[in-house]
Chain A
Amino acid sequence: MGAGLLEGNLATWAGGVPELASEAVANAQWRNATEGEKHDTCDRNDWRRASFERFQPPGGADRGFGGVLAASLAKQASAQVTSSPDTAQVQFALNLHYLLTNFLQVMIYGEGRQLPAALIRGGEGANSPGVSATSVKQIMFDVETRTIQARLNEIADEHWFRTELLRGILRADSPAQKLIDYSSTSFTTMFRLAGVIGQTETFDPYDSPNNGLLAADTLLSVQASVLAGMLPNLTNDVVQATMVTMSATAASNATAVRYMIQQRAAQQPDLLVAVDKLAAWRDRVDGTATAERPLTPTIGSDGSAVTRIGQTNADGLYLTRTPQQALNVLFMTAGAVSQGGFFPTGINGLIGTSAAN
């Protein structure tokens, strides 16, 4: 590699034009979408599409990754097996990615970045449209919070592509996105239930980067816990290998957000209290007893502090939930219901009812 690359400085790279600099500059350009210099949505989507198409070898899309998966599942499809155990699980993962991708993309980049019609419809045709997410708002980040913004950008982008990947696995079995309520009313309900705010107070997730982090944490931690528990229920080798690494990436995302909250807590310690109360509330409604790990650091016997950023247990294993337990959190109830909370009309797919806890 050229000497310019070793400098690790984009200004230097841009002059030397190594291959990585070109990409880094492109990344930087569209990750810098501040209020004043928002970049054209279409440009960005073209870039995305280009990235996705890189997967397609000469000969067409059918031999791409999604095609491989489809081929491996073709036997089931031709036999009219409509309820492969994998399908139900991956459908649920897709529903979680709808929830997170819209939220993170619009929160970071602004209106227009929610998932488009082609990525939220049921199956691959146009006859089962999804319901576009309209209630997310953009959050303004200043230079002081640039490391937060950068990492949320990265997580938002990962979610976009993971949504595409999950749809590539499911193909015709992709469930359509239903109405998702991202309004402050929805989050306020959850934060009141958890006791983070009083019964007459409101919580606006779009008011500040700190509030956005709290909101993102509630959603990301649910997603990561579901994916971490999904492997035993999968049967297809390719799906298994894919979902293990998707789970790892989701756990990394959730951990990154808890890391950021830990950082921000240096100036606003009540953030830790809020996370702990939300975690305790999730434990109350999802039937997993005390599986959640608070964020507030512990003080060891020798007086040394130890953080609790990773949602891991005494064995170092990540928190897991069933999809039904996750729905308890997202529907905001301990009972067995099929709608509520963030999903006023429920979700599509083979799994749609919360557990009775």
Chain B
Amino acid sequence: MAHQDISGFDDTRRRFLQMAGSATAMAGGLSFLSACNDDVVGAEAVATPTPTGTATSTVLPPTYTATDNDRLNFGLQRHYLLAAYLHRALDGGALSASMTGGAGAAGTVSGGRRVAFTDLSLLAMMREVSEATDARIAYLRRTLAGAVTAQPAINIAGGEGSPFQAIAITKRGTPPPAVNSFFDPYASENDFLLGAVALSSVVTQAIYDVTWQLAAALRTGMAAFAAGIAASDAILRNSLFVRADADVRVPAAGQSNLFGRAVTMALGRDQYDGPRAMESDAPGIGGFAGADWVYSKIDIVNYNWIAIRRTPEQALGILYASAASVSSGAFFPAGVNGTIRVSGANTY
């Protein structure tokens, strides 16, 4: 089949159409896509979702001019969240008070509980990630010195109505089966890894986006910082992948295996960051293939096969669990501290 030029901006759909081997397959695919109201803004005739809510105009985030300290503080605020999650899950505690002070409204961590780890090698790896995350917080705080911002109020609860639940399911399409009606990342090692991968991906991708904009004096350290969080993120994603490989190949009726749940989680993130399906090219952590084999998706990459970046406004959309521009919500019930604090107008 000659490659079709599908006008429009949706890469996922274009990719599918190009991958479809024949006109027949293409026609079938289009009819499927028309029916599913997926996360696609394309030129093809796709049924328009019925608008929900009462918003009549799009609220845009206020413009701002970020300084390097603003960018570093943006990274710090997100690291507070990741550290809070890892500490609570690993030891039931939180980041020490000496590492949370600074400008802005200080808050505490609510929700979450210690995860019952039985896999000691996994636990040893998670300790590495937690310690590296703490080390990077200390590095950021040392670099920011007098300009450091405080840890804000953080909600890392799981379960019905929780922040994790908000980013774990997608409101569009088929509702999740009843058995998965809520997501509690503290329920098991696997659930913990799903939650860790979710937070880590948002944190890392946002850091990549601000790093190259920094002044020369900060670049040496912060480029190594960005690669450092990529390494920690890789440990989390490799762990989830290995666990998923060990999970059931064919889930019971109405349930998902770990590969499937990772896909759902990725789509849950994608609903808040704008029309581009950033993780949806092949969402999740991999999958089973053939009778005995498996394929991996350790890295979330773009079409140049390098890691994607999320702008601060896209990242905040996910962490506030809002596609509309807001200044607080979900994981940060009182918002974050610092100049970069309002999520983008990511509705579509």
Contacts and interface: CB of A to CB of B under 8 A. Distances in A.
A8 B230 contact: no
Interface stretch (A153-161, A267-275, A324-332): A153-161
A54 B303 contact: yes
Interface string A1-24: 111011111111000111110111
Contacts of A288: none
Interface string A147-166: 10011011001101110010
Nearest to B173: A1
User: In the complex, which range does the number of interface residues on chain A fall in?
Assistant: 35 or more
B19 A2 contact: no
B29 interface: yes
A99 B338 CA distance: 44
Given A1-B36, A151-B296, A28 B174 contact: no
A337 B234 CA distance: 35
A154 B295 contact: yes
Given A165-B304, A227-B227, A315 B241 contact: no
Q: Which of B125, B212, B257 has most A Cβ within 10 Å? A: B212
Contacts of A259: 125, 234-235, 238
B293 interface: yes
A143 B128 contact: no
Contact of B296 (A143, A154, A306, A318): A154
Interface stretch (A119-127, A180-188, A250-258, A342-350): A250-258
B197 to A, nearest CB: 13
A245 B29 contact: no
Nearest to B239: A259
A43 to B, nearest CB: 11
Contact of B211 (A16, A244, A250): A244
Contacts of A254: 231
B47 interface: no
B228 A317 contact: yes
B290 A312 contact: no
A9 B211 contact: no
Contact of A305 (B5, B18, B120, B223): B120
Contacts of A8: 251, 256-264, 284, 287
B211 to A, nearest CB: 5
B12 interface: yes
Interface in A22-68: 22-29, 31-32, 50-55, 58, 65
Contacts of A118: none
A314 interface: yes
B227 A224 contact: yes
Contacts of A240: 212
Nearest to B288: A10
DSSP majority for the A interface? Answer: helix
Contact of A244 (B33, B177, B208, B288): B208
Nearest to A22: B19
B36 A309 contact: no
Interface residues of B, number: 107
Contact of B306 (A245, A315, A320): A245
B128 A310 contact: yes
B131 interface: yes
A154 B16 contact: no
A31 to B, nearest CB: 5
Interface stretch (B50-58, B96-104, B214-222, B319-327): B214-222
Contacts of A312: 132, 135, 228, 231-232
Contacts of A65: 304
A244 B212 contact: yes
B249 interface: yes
Contacts of A248: 204, 208, 226-227, 229-230, 306-307
B219 A231 contact: yes
A230 interface: yes
Given A158-B305, A305-B124, A316 B132 contact: yes
B114 interface: no
B128 A28 contact: no
B225 interface: yes
A55 B22 CA distance: 21
B310 to A, nearest CB: 11
Given A244-B212, A256-B238, A310-B231, A6 B293 contact: no
A147 B241 contact: yes
Q: Which of A54, A244, A247 has most B Cβ within 10 Å? A: A244
Nearest to A11: B250
A263 interface: yes
A22 B125 contact: no
B311 to A, nearest CB: 12
A273 B298 CA distance: 26
B261 to A, nearest CB: 7
Nearest to B134: A316
B13 interface: yes
A167 B124 CA distance: 40
A172 B310 CA distance: 31
A146 B244 CA distance: 13
A249 interface: yes
A253 B233 CA distance: 11
24 contacts: A7-B257, A8-B251, A8-B257, A9-B257, A18-B36, A24-B295, A31-B289, A54-B15, A55-B303, A162-B305, A232-B219, A244-B223, A245-B306, A248-B208, A256-B234, A256-B298, A305-B121, A305-B124, A307-B128, A309-B235, A310-B228, A310-B231, A317-B139, A318-B231
Given A20-B283, A256-B234, A318-B225, 8 more contacts: A8-B260, A53-B3, A153-B295, A244-B208, A306-B128, A309-B235, A310-B228, A316-B133
